[in-house]
Amino acid sequence: MDATDLCFTSAVELAELIRRRALSPVEITRAVLERIDRLNTRLGAYVMVHAERALGEARAAERAVMTGEPLGSLHGVPISIKDNLWTAGERTTYGSRLLAEFVAPEDAPSVAGLRAAGAIFVGRTNLPEFAWRGSTDNPLFGESRNPWDLTRTPGGSTGGGAAGVAAGLGPLALGSDGAGSIRIPASFCGLVGLKPTFGRVPMYPAAGGNELVAHVCPLARTVRDVALMMNAIARHDRRDAFALPDEGVDYLAACDEPFGGARGATPVRGGARVRIAWSPDLAFAPVERETRKIAETAARAFAEIGVTVEEASPDLGDPSVILKTLYGGAQAGAHAARSAEQKAQMDPELVAYAEASAGLSVVEYLRAVAARQAMVDSLRRFFEKYDLLLTPTSCLPAFPLGAVGPSEVAERKVTHLGWTLCYPFNYSGQPAVSVPAGWTASGLPVGLQIVGRRLEDALVLRAAAAFEALRPWAARRPRLS
């Protein structure tokens, strides 16, 4: 296996090779660091690389293997951390000049879980300022680029992490998702990104006005790698008031359970087999024709394992008012009252977005809260009939650099993040994963979103693993020299 193949080897396989002493943590860490050094200037994936420290951690990990010490599930496996998640003693900038020198006083719960599992932290990845949008560019570090087409965005807000994983600059990335921020980059970069059930992975510190929709998330090239990360980070932490209690779920083992109509497949509940709905647009979003066709073909592939897929959409109305009011209101609360000097250092698009929502009234805000409650109830009723819902992740493939987002899709005007089908499930708190559905004629990835009931993250991952077995994608790599 050459250095490039090593950099595209799955985390599950790397961990097993290290455990069997067939691969040194130093070897894989050095290969990843050398690839970062060679490609990161073009991609803008990492904003900080801790090469010497990572090699020191890798040498310590190697000694632990050789001396027979207990090993964590991610022992010796390299990982990147999004630059809005605290790592003790490191600068955590949130992509903002305002926090360019801020040093985190402690590990975020997810970071602590990965550290305890033995992962090697190689660096921090880029994001839009304060993770506010679905493309990755900020005044402090500049833009990230999509490895499949360097003229296009990798998505956001976990765009740097996605660009890095897709380009082989590390097998795993830790990110976050407040309105699609892990699933959009997964879709745009041909990766697997899971937004777990709200509270399943603790978040600390809280995400300000977005704390009721913000999720900490795993990102990788394969479903099992995401599940391996979940085993390390889905642990209760008292610092998060919304953190769920531990349920002892082995997410990696869940991926190996038979699914659908296969012999021995585990029933969902009450002895019934899994029931899947396919919605091309959630009855509100414009979707480009090629994107819809690729995602629908992927959804219909579940029939190959004996699962009936019915076309059906939950009654969500137009959820854009919820996003505009609650998400826009959160940005206004955080930034609209900043001084002129501070605003001059910020992303001007973020400032404009925050100021546009500064005049919202309490009545408007509470109407949006009521609309959210109605949407959540509608989804609850929909999921009484169906166990899983499939949709395109995004309404189009990765768009060109330089834009916050497209203003029009399929000849229809769209609002902020109205070009995704992600954000309703932040507001409902349901688990949702994006997996590669296929590639466009021009070679851009398209994502399929798989949504489940709250707390049924393991079923979502089982379905994703079953689809990966039907339509494997991990061998496909972007053409980077």
270 pLDDT above the threshold of 60: no
Whether residue 194 has pLDDT greater than 60: yes
Reply yes or no on whether the pLDDT at 262 is more than 60.
no
Q: Compute the average pLDDT of residues 157-167.
A: 98
Exactly one of 80, 135, 144, 181 is catalytic; which is it?
A: 181
Q: Pick the catalytic residue from 24, 157, 428, 434.
A: 157
Does residue 130 fall inside a structural domain? yes
The confidence score (pLDDT) of residue 260 equals 73
Confidence (pLDDT) at 273: 85
pLDDT at 8 > cutoff 70? yes
Residue 350 is assigned to a structural domain of this protein:
yes
Q: pLDDT confidence of 261, banded at 50, 70, 90?
A: low
In a domain, residue 480? The reply is no
Q: Are 435 and 307 within 8 A, CB to CB? A: no
Q: What is the pLDDT of residues 302-359, one digit of tens each?
A: 999 999 999 999 999 999 999 999 999 999 999 999 999 999 999 999 999 999 999 9
417 falls within a domain = yes
370-380 pLDDT per residue, tens: 999 999 999 99
Q: Provide the pLDDT confidence category of residue 427 given band limits of 50, 70 and 90.
A: very high
Q: State the total domains in the chain.
A: 1
Catalytic position from the list 82, 195, 324, 343: 82
Q: Classify residue 476: in a domain, yes or no.
A: no
Residue 480: the pLDDT is 87
Report residue 1's pLDDT band, with 50, 70 and 90 as the boundaries. confident
Residue 403 lies in a domain: yes
Query: What is the residue range of 115's domain?
Result: 3-470
User: What average pLDDT score do residues 92-108 get?
Assistant: 98
Tell me if 103 is assigned to some domain. Answer: yes
- The pair of three-digit structure tokens given for residue 297, joined into one six-digit string: 């073909």
CATH of the domain at 82: 3.90.1300.10
∠ CA 465-466-469, nearest 5°, is 85
What does the pLDDT read at residue 208? 85
Q: What mean pLDDT, rounded, does the chain reach?
A: 96
Specify whether the CB–CB gap between 321 and 429 falls below 8 A.
Answer: no
82 is catalytic: yes
Residue 451 lies in a domain: yes
Residue 157 a catalytic site member = yes
